[in-house]
Amino acid sequence: MDKTDIAIIGAGVIGLAAAEELSSQGRSVVVLERNNSFGSETSSRNSEVIHAGMHYPKGTLKARMCVEGNRLLYGICGKNNIPHRKTGKLIVAVEKEEVACLDKLYQQGKANGVSGLQLLTKQKMQEIQPGLPGLCALYSRETGIIDSHRLMQCYLSKAKENGAIFVFCAQVMGFEKIPAGYRIKINNQNESIFLEAGVVINCAGLDSDKIAQSAGIDLKKYRYELHYCKGQYFRVSSAKSCGIQKLIYPVPRPKGAGLGIHITIDLMGSIRLGPDDKYLDLRHQDYAVDETRRNDFYDSAVKVWPFLEATDLLPDIAGIRPKLQAAGEDFRDFVIAEESAKGLPGLVNLIGIESPGLTASAAIAKYVKTLVN
């Protein structure tokens, strides 16, 4: 039986960042990934936005990890030549009742330590993004975009340089507590293998709750159950892709599953709309884009992009978010917990790591290191 100091389950952006951080201390690290490559699920099916941190309640892990992660991520990108751009973001109020929500977001962002926030009049807003309709806006200077694949490649390469081992096509079937830590059962290309680890880091994304359950944790009791929420994107035809210089977001809806259908730019200058949010009845990875949703995307975007036409929208990608809150429920924070209190010392669960997980990845990895230490 193989042994390692630390086993990390999942090679999405969080698992990769944790692998780099934990392997830098000289401990042996093995990363187990069920797919044949890294970042194949939630980490590669998102808006690739570097968030600033104003959307999350003060003191929550989402707020703390996002604000710290924003700072760390720009540093990582600069040091490692990872393509990125600090575009800035406008959250636009188009209805009178949304204006108060902008002020609340501004105050929350300031309380969280977010820098570069400004409440803009219509005139100032249009100086930043000419022709933008709306009453006023909240501007976030520190929001940007990133090549998430290159970021994950960077984490992977540095972890390997530190000696971390990556095992792909490795489906974790379960694990049990043993005196030295944990004995993990793995299906690796239809062959059962076992790994003994002193510490287990559960970064399994869409199935992180099931991994926790396999360790004996009662999901209902501890509110660890995940709900799959699908988000779809439409891209805008190249003929209409000029003129948008900033990321443009709506004012978020109360109890909404996300930040609303927004306008994002990628590093090639293309424009996407999305994501929407649809809770799935079944836990399956359905990545088909429903073309009948085109008009809903158009109706959302045309409020701030009046020269857009429905025929300009083309189906793009879809992703699935592992959400802790069910449809209509209030905000739920990340679960990042060392489970000694549940009789499972050395097990660290990361559950419900959705947005702003990409932004927060380096900060989360450092936080996990403190829990392990």
User: Is residue 256 located within the same domain as residue 140?
Assistant: yes
User: For 182-201, what is each residue's pLDDT tens digit?
Assistant: 999 999 988 999 999 999 99
Strands 165-167 and 29-32: parallel
- What is the phi-psi region of residue 119: left when phi exceeds 0, alpha when psi lies from -120 to 50, beta otherwise? beta
- Tell me the one-letter amino acid at 54: M
Q: Yes or no: say if 253 and 261 are a contact pair by the CB < 8 Å rule.
A: no
Residue 351: which H helix or E strand, with range? strand 347-351
The range of the structural domain enclosing residue 350 comes to 2-45+150-225+331-372
Write out the H or E segment, with its range, that includes residue 171.
strand 170-178
Whether the predicted pLDDT of 1 surpasses 70:
no
C-alpha–C-alpha distance, residues 156 and 135, integer Å: 45
Minimal CA–CA distance to 243: which of 229, 263, 261, 258? Answer: 263
pTM summary value: 0.97
Say yes or no: 216 and 235 in one domain.
no
Query: Same structural domain for residues 154 and 11?
Result: yes
pLDDT, tens digit, 9 for 90 and up, residues 241-265:
778 889 999 998 776 656 789 999 9
The token pair at 115 is 């820098």
Mean pLDDT of 322-327: 96
Which residue, 287, 302, 323, sits at the end of a domain?
A: 323
State how beta strands 89-93 and 117-121 pair: unpaired
Q: What are the pLDDT digits (tens) for 325-343? A: 999 999 999 999 999 999 9
Residues 316 and 189 placed together within one structural domain of the fold: no
Distance CA 371, CA 83 (A): 31
Within-domain flag for 362: yes
- Residues 301-321 have pLDDT tens digits of 999 998 899 999 999 999 999
- Which tokens in the block code for residue 351? 């559950």
Residues linked to residue 32 through DSSP beta bridges, in sequence order: 9, 167
Beta carbons of 341 and 170 less than 8 angstroms apart: no
pLDDT at 78 over 90: yes
Q: How far is residue 211's CA from residue 192's CA, in Å, rounded to a whole number?
A: 17
Other beta carbons less than 10 A from residue 278's beta carbon: 18
Whether omega before 254 lies within 30 degrees of 0, making that bond cis, reads no
Q: What are phi and psi of 32, to 5 degrees?
A: -110, 125
Distance between CA atoms of 185 and 193, rounded to whole angstroms? 6
The CB-side HSE value for 126 (13 A sphere, CA atoms) comes to 10
CATH of the domain at 303: 3.30.9.10
| SS3 label, residue 304 | coil
Same domain, 122 and 234: yes
Number of domains present in the structure of the chain: 2
List the end-to-end C-alpha distance of the chain, in Å, as a whole number: 25
Q: What CATH number corresponds to the domain at position 6?
A: 3.50.50.60
- The average pLDDT across 70-96 equals 98
